[in-house]
A and B are shown apart, each in its own frame.
Chain A
Amino acid sequence: MADKKPAEPRSDRRDSQWLLWEVFTQSKTGLPHEHAGSVHAPDAEMALQNARDVYARRGPVTSIWVAPSDSITASTSSDSQPFFDPADDKIYRHPQFYKVPKGVKIFK
């Protein structure tokens, strides 16, 4: 027979969802870690275990990083224009900017 206990909270303790952690996985050694999603966990060790169960149930994952979500500082899209502008006007950072005598092979 099924359990007839009423499905109610056992205590008035508020259901904590714990801290939020961002998860980064590496799919092959040598490749960069990539953001996969997030997990909830009370500490870093359990965050790592939860991340393995959620984001690495099947390969390929060779390494996982977890970081508390609130410790990540990110640029916002509203300031992305002025923030990244300085990269746009420096054509001298690209090889096309430089001229060499015809017929010389610089790269091979």
Chain B
Amino acid sequence: MDDDAKLIEFEAKIKRGEKIEPKDWMPERYRKQLIRMMSQHAHSEIVGMLPEGNWITRAPTLRRKMGLIAKVQDEAGHGLYLYSATETLGIGRDEMVDQLLEGKAKYSNIFNYPSLTWADMGVIGWFVDGAAIVNQTMLARSSYGPYSRAMLRICAEENFHKKQGYEIAATLALGTQAQKEMVQNAVDRYWWPSLMMFGPSDKDSPNTPLLMKWKIKRKSNDDLRQRFIDLTIPQAQRIDLTIPDPDLKLNKKTGHWEFGKINWDEFYEVIRGNGPCNKERMTARRKAHFDGEWVRIAAEEYAKKRKTNHSNNN
């Protein structure tokens, strides 16, 4: 069968709603787009540990500390699910890790913003994980089997992240005046970057039509962003926090919230590496990786030693 015939069969399969599995034939572009999306997604989980790791030692109570540690550990696990799923496309994890450490790979812009106060832990869980759930619920229906299965696993765990975040935000919002100001300030800083997490507007997203045709993505950036806004505003209203957008208003006809203009210049600046924390994040990640080298070597030596002992005993 030639490639044209294979492509027709591949697209028919996707149209029928069947999943594509690692050993199935797929167009090179499908493979490349998936490697790009999934490895970026994996890197985002890994780098996403940094802003929150920053607050583990300063969590206000033991309960909060346990929750935050568990959440950060989940992010490491999610990174590993995603690297594992991406490896099924024929790229090694070492190659992906190198791309990240050499600054060649992208990860979500949101993690290039600083986590300045404890309230950020609440708002990151609530907004950032909330946005991730909206995106990942869509990706759980992706046409690539391993990606879709990794997403199902992740979505089940992210719900705890969002809820613990909202609990922190709600507790502060109902607390003292100073606590309320602190959480409002976190909302002010994180609202717009959270909306940018869904990526450029559909008209500026050249990959979207193909990604949707091949059902790698099932909904467009703008649709997902709208869904996130519609879900989040009532949650903010309930705890009396103000979303920093004077143009926000409910369109009674459509049931959707209309919102102001997103500052895309800022989005592209951060992608180009000029966000507030790009350098700090990469330095921290490289340091963690290279500092961990002795652990990797020790594990390898231990395995070798056990193997030798084992064969000597036989």
Contact = CB atoms under 8 A, between A and B. Distances in A.
> Do the two shown chains form a genuine complex with each other?
yes
B87 A38 contact: yes
Contact of A54 (B23, B77, B304): B77
A78 B21 CA distance: 12
Contacts of B85: 37
A39 B80 contact: yes
A77 B21 contact: yes
A37 B150 contact: yes
Interface residues of A, number: 31
Interface residues of B, number: 39
Contacts, number: 76
Q: Is the interface of B mostly helix, strand, loop or mixed?
A: helix
A101 to B, nearest CB: 42
A44 B226 CA distance: 47
B181 interface: no
A27 to B, nearest CB: 12
Nearest to B284: A7
A45 B310 CA distance: 13
Contact of A39 (B23, B84, B97): B84
Given A37-B84, A53-B77, A77-B23, A42 B300 contact: yes
A40 B157 contact: no
A21 to B, nearest CB: 10
A90 to B, nearest CB: 24
Interface stretch (B184-192, B207-215, B263-271, B290-298): B290-298
Given A10-B293, A38-B87, A57 B74 contact: yes
Contacts of B80: 37, 39, 54
Contacts of A17: 92-94, 97
B290 A7 contact: yes
B21 A42 contact: no
